[in-house]
Amino acid sequence: MLDRITGWLYERLGSRYWLVLAVGQALVSIFVALITVVILASYYDASTHDVVRLAAFGSILTAIAVLGGSLRTRAAFCAVRTWHGTPDPTPAETVKAWETASTLTYVQYRRNSWWINPFVVLPTSAFGVVLFDLGWADFFVLVLACVVPAVYATILSYSAGEMLSRPLVAAIAPQLADDFPFSRIGLPVRKRIMLGPSVYTIATALLVASLLGERSGSDDLVLTVAASVGIGLLLSQELSVLLAEAITVPIERVRAAMSRVEAGDLAARVPVTTSDELGELAHDFNLMVRGLEEREQMRAAFGTYVDKEVAALILSGQFPEEGVEIDVSIMFCDVRGFTSYAEAAPATEVVAVLNRLFTVIVPIVDRNGGHVDKFIGDGLLAVFGAPEVYPDHADRAVRAAREIVAATTALDTGLSVAVGVNTGRVVAGSIGGAGRLNFSVIGDAVNVAARVEAATRDTGDDVLITAATAAMLQSDIPLVSRGSIPLKGKSAPMEVLAPVPVAAPSAEQPV
C-alpha cells in the first residue's frame, strides 16, 4: 500500500518529490523529539506552558536540521531526475543513476548525522535548563538523556527515508542490464540488524522506566538512562548477534554458491538448514542450478550432434526463421571405394574406420572456420561463410580441402578422400517441420559441389574447385586447370581446377 502511494506521489510530483522525502523524515524525527521532551519534563516540576515551549523549540530545530540535511542531498536527487529526462541514457549513466538513487538516504545520513544531532540536542538541552530553572550541571544530564532518543530518531527516520526512496530506485531498476557492475555500497544488512534491535530495546527500556519508575529530578533521570542503556544492551546484543547469524550467514552461503556457479561450477549447492524463507531460498536456488546443469548437459549433447556455432546460433534465437541469402563456399568430401570396402569388411570395422576419418576431418573444418552441415553416409558436407560470415570463405574452404586430403592420406587406412569445392549464393536457415529442424544450406551451389567431388574420379585429382571458387580466392594458391567438364544436372560444361597438393599439417593452424 505504501509503495503504491509513494509511487503515485513520485509520478505526480516529479522533481518536487524530494520534499516528500524531506518532510517524511522530518515528521518521524519531530515525533521522537516530542516524546523525548515529554519524558524529560516528567522528571522536573515543569508547567504545561514550559513543556509546550520546549517541545516547539525542539521540533523547530529538528525540522530545520532534517530539511537542511535534505537540501544537501537535493543535488543527488536532481541527478536521478536528470536521468529520467535523458531520451536515451547509456548503460553507464543508468548504473550511475541507480547507485545514486539506491544510496540516496545512506549518503544523506552518513554525511549529515554528525552535525544534525548536536544541532538539535545541545540547544534544546540548554533551553530546557532555562525553562525548568535548573543548574548548569543538569545541562549534561539532559544531553545524556537526549542521546538515546536522538540515535533512535536517526535510525527511524533513516528507515523512513529508504521507504520513501523506493520509487526512485524502482523507476531505474528495469532499465539495468542483467550483467551491470554491481557494488555493495549501501548499509550492510549485518549492521542494520546489529544497530536496530539494540537502539530500539534501549529506547523502549528508557520509555518504560520513565513511565513506571521514580521521576524526581536529574538523579533519577541519570539512573533511568544508565539502567536503560545497560539492560537494553545486555538484552539486545545477544538477540542482534543471533539474528545477524540467522539471516546473513544463509545469505552469504547463497552468494558464495552463486559465485561458484558464475565461475562455471554447476555442481554448487546450498545446504537447506532451515524450514523458513531462507530455507526456501536455498531450496529454490538448488532447483535453479540443477535446471542450469540439465540445460548445459542438453547444450553439450546438442553440440555433439550439431556444429557448436550452429547450436549457439539456434539457442540464441537470433537467426531469422525464413533464412538468409548469402554467398558461401561449399565443400563436399567423400571416401573413395567405400562401398566395395563396406561390402567386404565387418560392420564394426567399417564404422570404426569411418569415425577415424571423420575424427581427423571435422577438426580441420572447425579450425578453418567452417561448420559441418551434415554427414551423408561416407560423405560430409561443410559450409564456409555461414553462419559465421568470413570474407575469405573460399580460401578457408580450399585450405581445409587440401589439409583433409593430406591428413587422411597420412592415416594409412587404405582409403582415400576426394573433395570438391564450389562457391555461390545459397539460402541458409532452419530446414524441416513438425518439430524437427536442421540448420542447412540449399541451392544450386550445393549440388555443384557434390558434382565437382564426383568429377575427381574422372580427372584423378584429390581436390577440385570450380572457377567461381578460384575467382573468390584472396590468397595465392597454385591451381592447375582441368578444363571444362560436363557435370550431372548442368546444361553446360564447367571449368574445374586442381590445387597443388600440400603436406599434412604437423600442428593446428590458427584460423
Q: How many CB atoms lie within 10 A of CB 277?
A: 10
Kindly state the DSSP code that residue 489 receives in the 8-state scheme.
T
| pLDDT score recorded for residue 305 | 45
Beta-bridge mates of residue 431: 438
Q: What is the rounded distance in angstroms from the CA atom of residue 257 to the CA atom of residue 454?
A: 57
| pLDDT score recorded for residue 431 | 65
Global pTM? 0.60
| pLDDT score recorded for residue 330 | 94
In order of 1, 293, 439, the CA distances from 317 in angstroms are: 40, 20, 13
| pLDDT score recorded for residue 317 | 54
**What is the per-residue pLDDT across 208-257, written as a single tens digit (0 to 9) for each?**
888 777 777 888 888 888 888 888 888 777 777 777 788 888 888 888 99
| pLDDT score recorded for residue 439 | 64
Q: What is the rounded distance in angstroms from the CA atom of residue 446 to the CA atom of residue 417?
A: 18
Q: What is the rounded distance in angstroms from the CA atom of residue 340 to the CA atom of residue 335?
A: 11
Rg (CA), the chain: 39
| Nearest partner of 467 among 455, 479, 476, 459, judged by Cα | 479
| pLDDT score recorded for residue 320 | 56
Residue boundaries of the structural domains of the chain: 2-187, 191-305, 322-499
Per the CB < 8 A criterion, the answer to whether 481 and 459 are in contact is no
| pLDDT score recorded for residue 422 | 95
* pLDDT-flagged residues of the chain (< 70): 298-323, 430-439, 501-511
Per the CB < 8 A criterion, the answer to whether 6 and 166 are in contact is yes
Q: Give residues with Cβ within 8 angstroms of 348, minimum separation 6.
A: none
Q: Give residues with Cβ within 8 angstroms of 80, minimum separation 6.
A: 97, 100, 101, 104, 168, 172
Q: Where are the alpha helices (DSSP H) in 317-434?
A: 338-344, 347-367, 393-410
Superfamily grouping for domain 322-499: Nucleotide cyclase, GGDEF domain (3.30.70.1230)
Per the CB < 8 A criterion, the answer to whether 197 and 243 are in contact is yes
Q: What is the rounded distance in angstroms from the CA atom of residue 48 to the CA atom of residue 53?
A: 9
Per the CB < 8 A criterion, the answer to whether 158 and 28 are in contact is no
Per the CB < 8 A criterion, the answer to whether 109 and 161 are in contact is yes
